[in-house]
Amino acid sequence: MRRHLAALLLATSLLATACGSDDPPEADSGQPDKVTVGVIPILDVAPIYLGKAKGFFEKHDIELTLKQAEGGAAIVPAVVSKEYQFGFSNIISLLLAKSQGLPIKVVSNGTNSTGEDGKDFAGLYVRADSGITSAKDLEGKTVAANTLQNIVDTSVRASVRKAGGDPTKVRFTALPFPEQPAALKSGQVDAVFVVEPFQQAVLADGAKLVASSYVDAAEDLCVALYFTSEQLLAENPDLVGRFTDAMKESLSYADSHPDETREVIGSYTKIDPATIERLTLPKYPADINRDSIETMADLATEDGLLTDSVDLNALLP
């Protein structure tokens, strides 16, 4: 954990040095604000791509640029250093960053679980012939997670706990999502927790769902959010407000227009059209489910991931 904090703070320092003392974007002679947002090329960010295509950001005088990153660990320091004005990251990454003193502030909801057991956009899978029938059976077994000490192992441990097992007896190994279907099929790992479209890949291999861990972790779990730096919020609250309003419109539109949401996914990912049609989409509510975030903070503390309490009023709007 300390090594993780040191690396994150070092990355922030280096980015700040590289970016110098650039001022936050401000309206200039009636021109729209140029805004860069750090995102990840996954289903979760479909609303912001759709909102850009529908002109919601333009309507709020924002010229939007979307920069793809490999994960939230890179996006957080880039937002703090003002390389990006806003970013997208999962709730555990944001809780960790805030607990470590990074000056970030959530401005908009991002994506939520469907809340339906067995019908979520992510799940915990095992081989059909593994003999594993519930999350409790994962005691002493190895589960692949795309990153360690984050939302995946927090959620999987919640499933194990709910099934009556001891979550401390589950082993986790880091493995990128694209490599997990083959690792499960070959027996390299006992279980995988995958999101779409990799959920479709393990299902095609005959894998069996043993838990919808996002559903087990919290009711209508808020999985990820959009955030900014405290500095930008203080220096240009009008821009932050307009970005938030545009995001709310984008989220509401995406949630009520699933066909258009599926269509836009093909514009920024390499998922083939046939697979896109089979995907289980997340929910995209405009409002933040604070109760679910409080639950995740409690779970992360119970698991020892969070060692310092987080002031949710300082993190959330």
Q: Quick check: do 2-113+221-315 and 122-217 share a fold?
A: yes
Rounded mean pLDDT, 35-58: 97
On the question of pLDDT at 12 being above 70, the answer is no
Residue-wise pLDDT for 167-194, tens only, equals: 999 999 999 999 999 999 999 999 999 9
- SS3 at position 317: coil
Rounded mean pLDDT, 154-176: 97
pLDDT at 309: 85
pLDDT at 227: 98
β-bridge partners, 240: none
Rounded mean pLDDT, 83-90: 97
* Mean pLDDT across the chain: 91
Which burial class, exposed, middle or buried, applies to 152 when counting CB atoms under 10 A from its CB (0-12, 13-18, 19+)? buried
Which pair of structure tokens corresponds to residue 316?
A: 């959330």
pLDDT higher at 3 or 298 = 298
- SS3 at position 78: helix
- pLDDT above 70 covers a percentage of the chain that reads 90
pLDDT at 70: 72
Domain 2-113+221-315 matching CATH 3.40.190.10: the answer reads yes
Grade residue 2 by pLDDT with cuts at 50, 70 and 90: very low
> Position 102: which residue type?
L
SS3 percent helix, strand, coil of the chain, rounded to 5, is 50, 20, 30
Rounded mean pLDDT, 262-281: 96
Question: What residues does each domain of the chain span?
Answer: 2-113+221-315, 122-217
pLDDT at 74: 81
pLDDT at 191: 98
- The 3-state secondary structure of 163-214 reads CCCCHHHCEEEECCHHHHHHHHHHCCCCEEEEECCHHHHHHHCCCEEEECHH
Residue-wise pLDDT for 65-86, tens only, equals: 999 987 766 899 999 999 999 9
The total of other beta-carbon atoms located within 10 Å of residue 256's CB is 10
Rounded mean pLDDT, 284-295: 98
**Is the whole-model pTM more than 0.75?**
yes
Residue-wise pLDDT for 199-255, tens only, equals: 999 999 999 999 999 999 999 999 999 999 999 999 999 999 999 999 999 999 999
CATH for 122-217 (3.30.930.10, 3.40.50.12280, 3.30.1490.100, 3.40.190.10): 3.40.190.10
Grade residue 26 by pLDDT with cuts at 50, 70 and 90: very low
